[in-house]
Amino acid sequence: KQEVTQIPAALSVPEGENLVLNCSFTDSAIYNLQWFRQDPGKGLTSLLLIQSSQREQTSGRLNASLDKSSGRSTLYIAASQPGDSATYLCAVKGSEETSGSRLTFGEGTQLTVNP
Amino acid sequence: DGGITQSPKYLFRKEGQNVTLSCEQNLNHDAMYWYRQDPGQGLRLIYYSQIVNDFQKGDIAEGYSVSREKKESFPLTVTSAQKNPTAFYLCSSSIDRDSQQYFGPGTRLTVT
């Protein structure tokens, strides 16, 4: 059964700092990996989707990398801003054979960027 | 505007009552999903549907039921058999089972 772990559980940084959020998964037979952002009491906003054949994806100040063989992904946020404060969730989608193409989520990293 | 709507935003029910949560999308997506989120836990899959008139159980389907009579609608019923129904419920959809998933704003259900 796929398990997804996110470290750290919480992170507090000063504005302007570059930071890295980590995600690891136990079964490397994944189809893709998504990073989401969740604000308190809200739904999830998709940030980046990396297909299993890709190594990284970039959107603005965000860069996500994927190392499928080692079961790891990182989300890099450059020049952090107070508006980046939220919970960041990593989710992996398995193959139809192993998991019915479902998304398995980590518990998230709660990020606080202090002005 | 295109997107996923969930209603209501907050729902309160007495123990023993069934309650239905609404999820509608106008993105023309084939696949739709229901997740439950509890404090300190990741999202857990309740039910999913890859096509109209077909759906499959997720990891925690006991005490829940769904229907998929129309492409744009995937309502979730929380029955009295669900032992701990109080949670934040999230609906999502994707073009197909392997594509990016988009989420609705969620419904917070409180059962007392």
SS3 A98: helix
CB atoms within 10 A of CB B71: 18
The whole-number average pLDDT for the span A38-65 is 95
Position B39 scores a pLDDT of: 85
Option in B40, B41, B105 nearest A42 (CB): B105
Q: Do A67 and A24 touch, CB atoms closer than 8 A?
A: no
The whole-number average pLDDT for the span B32-36 is 95
A4 shares contact with chain B (CB less than 8 Å): yes
Please, what is the average pLDDT of chain B? Answer: 93
Tokens of A91: 């989710």
Report phi then psi at A13, rounded to 5: -135, 160
Under 8 Å CB-to-CB from B1, ≥6 apart: which residues? none
Q: Do A32 and A50 touch, CB atoms closer than 8 A?
A: yes
The whole-number average pLDDT for the span B17-46 is 93
The answer to whether B102 contacts A46, with C-beta atoms less than 8 Å apart, is yes
Which residues pair with residue A80 across a beta bridge?
A: none
Position A61 scores a pLDDT of: 98
The answer to whether B42 contacts A107, with C-beta atoms less than 8 Å apart, is yes
Position A43 scores a pLDDT of: 92
Position B2 scores a pLDDT of: 64
The pLDDT tens digits for B60-81 are 999 999 999 999 999 999 999 9
Q: Do B16 and B80 touch, CB atoms closer than 8 A?
A: yes
Q: Looking at the predicted structure, is the pLDDT value of residue A97 above 70?
A: no
Determine the length of chain B.
Answer: 112
